[in-house]
Structure 1
Amino acid sequence: MDTQRKSSAALKEGFLVKRGHVVLNWKARWFVLFPDKLMYYKYEGGKKDSSKRGMIPLADSEITCPFLEHENRPLVLRLKTKSSEDYFLEACSREQRDDWANCISDAVEKLRVGDGSSEVPAKQRKVSSSLKLNNVNLSEVVDAMYDVHSGIHLTTHVEQGSSFSNCFSGSAVVDWLVFMNLALTRVEAVTLASALLEEGYVRAVGVRSVEALHCVGLGEQFLDDSTALYSFSENFKKRGSVKAETSLSAVELSGKVQKRGFLLKQGHKRKNWKVRLFVLRSEPGYLHYYDPSKDDLSPVGGFSLRGCLVSALDDSGVPSGVKGKVQGNLFKIITQSNTDYFIQAPTREEQAEWIEAIRKLT
Structure 2
Amino acid sequence: MSAEQRSGVVREGFLVKRGHVVHNWKARWFVLTADKLLYYKYEGGRRDSCQRGRVMLRGCVVTCPFLEHENRPLVFKLQTKSSVEHYLEACSREERDEWAADIAAAAERLQAADGGEAAAGRPDATGSPSLMLHNVRLNQVVDSMYDVHSGINLTSHVEQGSTYSNCFSGSEVVDWLVFMQLVLSRVEAVTLGSALLEEGFVRPIGLRSLVAIRNAGLSEQFMDDSTALYSFAESFKKRGSVKAEPSLSAVELSGKVMRRGYLLKQGHKRKNWKVRLFVLRSEPSYLHYYDPSKDDVSPVGGFCLRGCLVSALDDNGVPTGVKGNIQGNLFKIITQSDVHYFIQAPTHKEKMDWIDAIRQQV
- What is the one-letter code of the residue matched to 1:81? T
Q: Verify: 1:182 aligned to 2:189, yes or no.
A: yes
**Equivalent residues of 2:209, 2:229 under 8 A apart:** no
How do 1:170-319 residues align onto structure 2 when only pairs under 5 Å count? 170=167, 182=189, 201-202=208-209, 224=231, 227-228=241-242, 244-247=245-248, 249-295=249-295, 297-319=297-319
- Distance in structure 2 (CA, Å) of the matches to 1:344 and 1:33: 22
| Letter aligned with residue 246 of structure 2 | E
Give the drift of 1:281. 0.2
- Percent sequence identity over matched residues? 58
Cα distance in 2 between the residues matched to 1:185 and 1:319: 54
State how far apart, in whole Å, the 2-side matches of 1:62 and 1:348 are: 33
Matched, 1:127 2:122: yes
Query: Displacement of 1:185 after TM fit?
Result: 10
> Could you tell me which residue of structure 1 aligns to residue 116 of structure 2?
118
1:74/1:220 contact within 8 Å kept:
no
Deviation readout 1:181-239 (Å, 9 max, x if unpaired):
627999xx9xxxxxx999x8349xxxxxxxxxxxxxxx69967566226xxxxxxxxxx
The alignment's TM-score, normalised by the length of structure 1, stands at 0.70
Deviation at 1:127, TM superposition (A): 2.0
Paired with 2:285 and 2:209, the residues of 1 have a C-alpha distance of 18
Q: Quick one: which amino acid aligns to residue 251 of structure 2?
A: V
CA contact (8 A) 1:77 1:88 kept: yes
Residues 291 and 297 of structure 1 are in contact (CA less than 8 Å); yes or no, is this contact kept in structure 2? no
Measured in 2, the distance between the counterparts of 1:91 and 1:183 equals 22
Taking the aligned partners of 1:85 and 1:223, their CA distance within structure 2 comes to 37
Superposed displacement of residue 7, structure 1: 3.6
Q: Is the 8 A contact 1:46 1:274 kept in 2?
A: yes
Q: CA deviation at 1:109?
A: 1.1
Shift of 1:119: 3.5
Residue identity matched to 2:167: G
**Consecutive unaligned residues in structure 1, runs of 5 or more:** 1-5, 135-166, 190-195, 204-218, 230-241
Q: Is the 8 A contact 1:257 1:281 kept in 2?
A: yes
Matching residue's letter, 1:316:
N
Cα gap change, 1:197/1:84 in structure 2, threshold over 3 Å: closer, same or farther? farther
Q: Give deviations 1:260-286, integer Å, cap 9, x for gaps.
A: 000000000000000000000000000
Report the 3-state secondary structure (helix = DSSP H, G, I; strand = E; otherwise coil) of the residue aligned with 1:299: coil
8 Å contact kept, 2:31–2:39: yes
Secondary structure of the residue aligned to 1:170 is strand
Superposed counterparts of 1:1-362, under 5 Å: 7=5, 9-115=8-114, 117-120=115-118, 125-128=120-123, 170=167, 182=189, 201-202=208-209, 224=231, 227-228=241-242, 244-247=245-248, 249-295=249-295, 297-362=297-362
1:149 aligned residue? none
Give the distance between the partners of 1:256 and 1:197, measured in 2 at CA.
16
Letter in 1 for 2:111: R
Pairs aligned (count): 282
* Root-mean-square deviation over aligned CA pairs: 3.6
Change (3 A) 1:61 1:21: same
Instruction: Quote how far apart the aligned CAs of 1:52 are.
Output: 4.7
Q: Rate the CA distance shift 1:342–1:63 in 2: closer, same or farther, 3 A.
A: same
Aligned amino acid, residue 253 of structure 1: L
TM-superposition CA deviations, 1:105-162 (whole Å, max 9, x none)? 11111111222x2342xxx83123x667x9xxxxxxxxxxxxxxxxxxxxxxxxxxxx
Query: What are the ranges of 5 or more consecutive residues in structure 2 without an aligned counterpart?
Result: 129-163, 197-203, 211-225, 235-240
Distance 1:268 1:309 in 2: 18
CA contact (8 A) 1:72 1:220 kept: no
Task: Tell me, yes or no, if the aligned pair for 2:169 and 2:229 is still in contact at 8 Å.
Answer: no
